[in-house]
Amino acid sequence: MFRKFSRYLTLLLLLLWIGVVQSATVNLSIDETSVSNCVSEGNFFTLTVSLEEDISASEDTTGLGTILVSFRTDADQSDFSSLPSSTTLDLANPVKSFAVLAVNDNVVEVPEKFTFKIGIWAPSGNVTVGESTQTVIVRDRNPGKLQFTESNYPENENDGSVTITVKRVEGNDGEISVNYATSDDTAIAETHYHGAQGTLTWADKDSNPQSFTVAIIDNLSHDGDKTLNLSLSEPSGGATLGSPADATVTIKEDEPPPPPLAVEPNSVRLMVGNSTPLNISGGTPPYQVRSTNENVATVSITDNVATVTAIGTGSAIIKITDQASASVDATVIVIPSPPAVEPDSVTLMVGNSTPLNISGGTPPYQVSSTDENVATVSVTDNVATVTAIGTGTAIIKITDQVGTEVNATVKVILCECIEGKPCLCFYREQNSDSIIKVGEQLTLDLKIDIQNTEQAFDLYVAFALPKGYMIPLIFLTEEIGFVTEFIPFKREIKQEDKSFTILDFKVDQCLGGIYTYYAGLFFQDNDELASNIAVGKVTFQKKCE
């Protein structure tokens, strides 16, 4: 009976103990960082189970034992990792959290919804399940796109630098990076800007814009707005390039424009072979020049002076361009060079001829003499032939087809003197080319020019006879006439002696042929020639009529 009483007592005490034991609730929660319970593949989310007490009248908590919590899910084992099958809770360890990895399967797919549930087994105590279910939406990992915030970044040339911003859009999963670089367009690196290149990096979940700077060079000259290129490349961490991934920087010109490009003169007329400068002003140096017809004119440039050289007749345009591509033209008209004559001055003895060489101008040429009693002239192609007729001076006029004229001076003398010595010249009134006929008067004078000396000379006069005479040379004396010996015409010729009449007679017989006569002064003491040799000729009629 005692044994039966003891059982009833034990049962009564157990019921009394159960009546005063605490009740508790087990809940399942998910971390608040998973917005809308959504997580991307490759990221973790946290599941937490917690034991929450409901305190009754008794403060004794020893009656609540260990609680076994089991996890269930409708996901495949390959979808998640680090998910336990079960865990235990007690009053000493009422909360346990588990970081669960949403596995990245590298398969493009729509977001998936998974359910997680808990169940409990409590050997003792009043333990119930509160929040037993949580859902998680798993989406593909999206690192996002990287792109410039603007397609063009304008900046003043004197601002010093421009800030370029790159943003991360349409995703922020994972750590990513992208390379940036500048390149030339119309702006030239190290002339208009300093080149830049580098890498921008974003941490996981970082959506803040990143930036870099490009230094701008103020060249203090007006060369217009310039642009440089920006580019993004080689995104990492699964990120892609958005739009725009290429952009430009426009460097706005801050200097006042220079005066307009100009050339002075803007029209020139040149003769073939000549050159002339063209002065360039304004615009943006350096300048470039070219000729539209180098067969007519060529051009070169040094600093701001262009030199034009005439090559051939015609017209050409000289085009001048500055660094800013502004241009201005100058017109060049090339005409033939004027005619020239060589020599342009001659001295001839009566009866002699000489050529004058004509060049330049526009053939054919016409020629004339201002005094045909002194000299006559004829022309064949580019050679004018001048013949001395009588003493004096004449101008030979040479005119080309377009009327351009050049002159040559002809001086006709009777003899050719030697500088510093006495000079002798024969002179006769008749034209030296005329034939002396029977009955005509022949007068032959000899002019003498002796200067700056008191010395006396002997004068010799000789005649060379025509072919057929046995005696080729005879001498004339003032006193006895013609002799065959070497006898002077006159002795003691001094400074005051100016002229002598050598011959003066009327031709009364047929002498026939050409006679050449000579005169010269000789020193008295050594018989050496002291002057020039004066030479003349006379032609007599060969047959008597």
pLDDT per residue as tens digits for the range 289-315: 999 999 999 999 999 999 999 999 899
For the four alpha carbons of 167, 172, 177 and 178, in that order, the dihedral sign comes to: negative
| Whether residue 118 is found in the same domain as residue 79 | yes
Give domain status of residue 6, yes or no. no
Give domain status of residue 524, yes or no. yes
Tokens representing 507 are 């031709």
Q: What residues make up the domain containing 98? A: 22-139
| Whether residue 46 is found in the same domain as residue 124 | yes
Domain boundary, last residue among 331, 352, 369: 331
CA distances to 221, 225, 260 from 256, rounded to whole Å, are 8, 12, 12
| Whether residue 198 is found in the same domain as residue 296 | no
Give residue 277's Cα distance to chain centre: 20
**Torsion from C-alpha of 253, 257, 263, 266, nearest 10 degrees:** 110
| Whether residue 243 is found in the same domain as residue 297 | no
In 3D, which of 284, 293, 280, 353 has the Cα closest to residue 320?
A: 280
Tokens representing 1 are 């009976």
For the four alpha carbons of 503, 506, 508 and 513, in that order, the dihedral sign comes to: positive
Q: Which residues pair with 232 in a beta bridge?
A: 180
How many domains does the chain fold into?
A: 5
Give domain status of residue 7, yes or no. no
Instruction: Report the relative pairing of strands 240-241 and 145-148 from DSSP bridges.
Output: parallel
Q: What single letter denotes the amino acid at residue 198?
A: G
Question: Does 12 have pLDDT greater than 60?
Answer: no
- pTM, two decimal places: 0.43
Q: Match 């699964």 to its residue by tokens.
A: 238
| Whether residue 327 is found in the same domain as residue 348 | no
The arrangement of strands across the sheet holding 240-241 comes to 210-215, 161-169, 145-148, 240-241
pLDDT per residue as tens digits for the range 367-406: 999 999 999 999 999 999 999 988 789 999 999 988 889 9
Contact between 375 and 408 under an 8 Å Cβ cutoff? The reply is no
| Average of per-residue pLDDT across 151-159 | 95
Specify the DSSP class assigned to residue 37: G
Domain boundary, last residue among 252, 284, 300: 252
pLDDT per residue as tens digits for the range 192-237: 999 999 999 999 989 999 999 999 999 888 788 999 999 999 999 9
Domain boundary, last residue among 227, 252, 277: 252
d(CA 516, CA 351): 13
Instruction: Report the relative pairing of strands 353-359 and 383-388 from DSSP bridges.
Output: antiparallel
Higher pLDDT, 164 or 434: 164
Give domain status of residue 131, yes or no. yes
Question: Does 251 have pLDDT greater than 90?
Answer: yes
* pLDDT at residue number 221: 80
